[in-house]
């Protein structure tokens, strides 16, 4: 905190909450405008031997805390100081318009990641498949996902399969292989449900009509994988 004096302190909420004493010390600094250096045991409420303590350091800074919506709502509901100290909330859009200029920027980002990481170049059809995946992720043909970390991971995985296939560039087939392998690692629940349908444990009628009933589709979201399950309504 003292190093950010006179400027901005930007940190992830989870880091402050999972390190003992950090969150309470940060709130105290924001309330008093001073940094008090304390022993960790004293911060946690343990008995410590008395001794000389440094003089509190006057502090003037702006704090920016980054985190997901779940952490925000937990702090809002369970920490009465949170809303008093952090008054301005800003949501970041996880989608962007799928326009020509945005597509070029997306392709430029993919190329820059390959260049910076020393990865093989990606064929334009491979780039197109990555962009297609970004659109499928947000379930909208007119939008693209801005979760660039997911795109970066996909590039790494496609690079591996490109090397396995002996390719000097990353082709569409390498990207497709990476996506298929992701699905195999994550679709255990979907496979089990499909088995139950095949074995007629779960009955899904696709012929004839029944009064007051209709087939529907429920979407299951497992975090890193989503799939549809037929349901009788």
Q: What is the pLDDT of residues 177-197, one digit of tens each?
A: 999 998 888 888 888 888 888
Q: Tens digits of per-residue pLDDT, 74-133?
A: 999 999 899 888 988 888 888 888 888 888 999 999 999 999 999 999 999 999 999 998
Task: Look at 2 and 221; give whichever has higher pLDDT.
Answer: 221
pLDDT reported for residue 161:
94
State the average pLDDT over residues 149-178.
92
Q: pLDDT confidence of 227, banded at 50, 70, 90? A: confident
Q: With 90 as the cut, is the pLDDT of residue 145 above it?
A: no
pLDDT reported for residue 24:
86
Q: Tens digits of per-residue pLDDT, 37-91?
A: 766 655 555 555 556 677 777 888 888 999 888 899 999 999 989 988 898 888 8
pLDDT reported for residue 6:
78
pLDDT reported for residue 102:
87
pLDDT reported for residue 46:
57
Q: With 90 as the cut, is the pLDDT of residue 225 above it?
A: no
Which token pair is 138?
């947000």
């Amino acid at each position: 905190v003292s190093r950010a004096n006179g400027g901005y302190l930007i940190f992830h909420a989870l880091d402050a909450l999972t390190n003992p004493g950090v969150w309470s010390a940060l709130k105290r600094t924001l309330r008093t405008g001073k940094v008090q250096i304390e022993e960790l045991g004293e911060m946690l409420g343990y008995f410590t031997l008395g001794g000389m303590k440094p003089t509190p350091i006057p502090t003037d800074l702006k704090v920016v805390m980054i985190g997901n919506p779940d952490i925000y709502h937990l702090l809002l509901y369970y920490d009465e100081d949170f809303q008093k100290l952090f008054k301005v909330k800003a949501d970041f859009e996880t989608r962007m318009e799928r326009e020509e200029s945005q597509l070029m920027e997306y392709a430029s980002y993919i190329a820059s990641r390959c260049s910076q990481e020393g990865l093989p170049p990606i064929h334009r059809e491979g780039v197109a498949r990555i962009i297609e995946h970004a659109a499928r992720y947000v379930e909208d043909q007119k939008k693209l996902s801005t979760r660039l970390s997911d795109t970066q991971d996909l590039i790494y995985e496609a690079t591996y399969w490109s090397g396995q296939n002996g390719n000097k560039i990353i082709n569409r087939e390498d990207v497709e292989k990476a996506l298929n392998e992701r699905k195999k690692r994550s679709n255990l629940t979907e496979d089990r449900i499909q088995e139950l349908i095949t074995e007629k444990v779960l009955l899904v009628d696709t012929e004839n009509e029944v009064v007051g009933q209709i087939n529907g589709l429920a979407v299951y979201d497992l975090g890193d994988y989503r799939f549809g399950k037929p349901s009788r309504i």
